[in-house]
């Protein structure tokens, strides 16, 4: 980028006609446009060298003024460089605004973070879910605690952010907060969103995350196997609360609904499909994508079971679903009573539908994608955890293909082979070959 024409000068300006004491002024010129301002200093005209734009003489007052003017010169050049490196056009107005402190106050990180969260809160149900807001609120709380822990401050400016700050925050989450690798990287990603927002708003120019690297640990979240699902469906619980939670979980296993979608499922969402059977036709809260799921007999049975439940009638919902916290708490208890060597949670049901119920029964992955309401097949592939039974079945088919009995030779092939053997014997006899 070509540099703008730039100039600056100090001069004495008469305050009162005939006065020998005059105000020292600064004039800045960019591309032929000039602006001037007083330095708030006064000097006698007889002790001023306009050619050098400095006070003359060796007295202390002259040295003090010249040092002040040198500092002011350095400050103007520093402002000029900062504006040019920001990529913004250099103007005399911008230089004067910076010099005279007429620029907007520097934006602070936690203030901008809170503004982001307030905007998200206002848009709940209009593109954002409450769970998303909760995760950003927790991230802000961790960042607030870190700034106090590391810097003993209530907030910092975006200009103070650096790669070192980001790495220190990551280390704090892993050690002081004892977060796992994936949880740490989620908090870092939330913080990065606020920084990107600041860059877009031209609050800062450089991205402190530019050279930050983090890799998530791949966690295999296994669904229930066919046998485990069978045992869960038929297990008898002595308390109604566990039976209800089990039924809701099983319903999710046969529909693929996420917890919040099962919780909000209305009777009006159950409609007759093009095939004449009952379908779930609703929108996922998380993505606002349309969900169209044909109801399997197991799911229909559970709907029928709770159609007259008082909570369902009161809320107008299909199932008497508890809070997510209670659901997961009771599911842990259910897993113990069923003898499962793992913990159950509401999302395992969705994975069970995506893997055990559909993919393992040869439902094409692109169909499963639509049933789960995913935006891409790549999301669905994470659910494609194949059971051992399916692997064994496919390998058995492969084994049969590889070990087929060799086909018998036809009569013409046998005749050719007999003739060749006779020719070989004749050659051996002619040359007296015994072997």
Q: From first to last of its 435 residues, what are the pLDDT tens digits of the chain?
A: 445 688 999 999 876 677 888 999 999 999 989 999 999 999 999 999 999 999 998 899 999 999 999 999 999 999 888 888 767 788 888 888 888 877 656 789 999 999 999 999 999 878 788 888 999 999 999 999 999 999 999 999 988 899 999 999 999 999 999 999 999 999 999 999 999 999 888 788 788 998 999 888 877 778 999 999 999 999 999 999 999 999 999 999 999 998 989 999 998 999 998 888 999 988 766 556 677 899 999 999 999 999 999 999 999 999 999 998 899 999 999 999 999 999 999 889 999 998 889 888 888 888 888 888 887 888 777 776 655 555 666 677 777 777 765 555 555 566 776 777 777 777 666 656 665
Structure tokens at 36: 């001037």
Mind listing the pLDDT tens digit for each residue in 221-266? 789 999 999 999 999 999 999 999 999 999 999 999 989 899 999 9
DSSP string, 263-293: HH-BGGGEEE-TTSSEEEEEE-TTT--EEEE
Q: Whose CA is closest to 355, among 397, 385, 399?
A: 385
The residue written with tokens 């802000």 in the block is: 140
Residue with token string 């606002």: 288
> Is 20:42 a contact under the CB 8 Å cutoff?
no
Burial of 276 (0-12, 13-18, 19+ CB in 10 A): exposed
Instruction: Name the burial class of residue 70, with classes exposed (0-12), middle (13-18) and buried (19+) by CB atoms within 10 angstroms of its CB.
Output: exposed
Distance CA 267, CA 335 (A): 30
Are 258 and 355 contacting, i.e. CB atoms less than 8 angstroms apart?
A: no
CA 401 to centroid of chain Cα atoms: 46
Cα gap 155→203, rounded to integer Å? 16
Tens digit of each residue's pLDDT (9 = 90 or more) over 131-151: 889 999 999 999 999 999 999
Within 8 A by CB and 6+ apart from 91, the residues are: 30, 33
Tokens at 93, concatenated: 């107005």
Q: In what order do the strands lie in the sheet with 21-30?
A: 6-13, 21-30, 33-44
User: Which residues of 325-393 form beta strands (DSSP E)?
Assistant: none
Give the integer Cα–Cα distance in Å for 152 and 79: 30
Query: For residue 135, how far is the Cα from the chain centroid?
Result: 11
Measured distance CA(166)–CA(191) in Å, rounded: 9
Report the residue count for the chain.
435
């Amino acid at each position: 980028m070509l540099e703008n024409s730039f100039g600056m000068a100090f001069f004495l300006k008469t305050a009162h006609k005939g006065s020998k004491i005059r105000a020292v002024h600064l004039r800045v010129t960019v591309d032929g446009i000039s602006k001037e301002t007083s330095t708030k200093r006064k000097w006698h005209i007889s002790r001023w060298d306009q050619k050098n734009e400095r006070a003359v003489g060796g007295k202390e007052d002259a040295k003090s003024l010249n040092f002040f003017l040198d500092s002011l010169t350095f400050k103007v050049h520093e402002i000029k460089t900062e504006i040019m490196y920001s990529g913004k056009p250099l103007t005399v107005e911008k230089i004067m605004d910076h010099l005279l402190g007429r620029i907007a106050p520097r934006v602070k990180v936690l203030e901008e973070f809170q503004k982001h969260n307030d905007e998200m809160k206002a848009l709940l149900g209009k593109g954002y879910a409450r769970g998303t807001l909760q995760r950003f609120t927790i991230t802000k709380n961790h960042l607030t605690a870190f700034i106090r822990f590391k810097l003993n401050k209530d907030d910092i400016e975006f200009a103070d952010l650096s790669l070192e700050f980001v790495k220190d925050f990551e280390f704090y989450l892993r050690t002081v907060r004892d977060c796992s690798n994936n949880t740490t990287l989620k908090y870092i990603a939330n913080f990065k969103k606020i920084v990107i927002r600041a860059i877009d708003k031209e609050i800062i120019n450089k991205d402190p995350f530019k050279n930050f690297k983090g890799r998530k640990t791949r966690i295999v979240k296994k669904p229930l196997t066919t046998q485990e699902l069978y045992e869960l469906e038929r297990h008898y619980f002595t308390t109604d609360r566990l039976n209800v939670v089990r039924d809701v979980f099983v319903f999710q296993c046969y529909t693929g609904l996420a917890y919040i979608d099962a919780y909000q499922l209305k009777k009006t969402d159950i409609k007759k499909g093009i095939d004449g059977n009952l379908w779930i036709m609703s929108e996922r809260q998380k993505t606002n994508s349309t969900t169209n799921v044909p109801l399997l007999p197991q799911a229909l049975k559970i709907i029928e079971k709770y159609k007259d439940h008082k909570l369902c009638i009161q809320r107008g919902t299909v199932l008497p679903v508890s809070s997510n916290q209670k659901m997961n708490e009771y599911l842990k208890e259910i897993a113990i009573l069923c003898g499962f060597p793992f913990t159950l949670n509401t999302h395992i049901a969705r994975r069970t539908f995506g893997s055990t119920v559909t993919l393992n029964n040869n439902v094409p992955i692109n169909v499963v994608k639509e049933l789960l309401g995913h935006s891409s097949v790549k999301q669905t592939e994470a659910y494609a955890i194949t059971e051992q039974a399916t692997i064994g079945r496919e390998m058995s088919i492969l084994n049969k293909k590889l070990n087929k009995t060799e086909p018998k030779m036809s009569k013409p092939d046998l005749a050719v082979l007999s003739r060749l053997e006779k020719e070989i014997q004749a050659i051996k006899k002619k040359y007296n070959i015994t072997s």
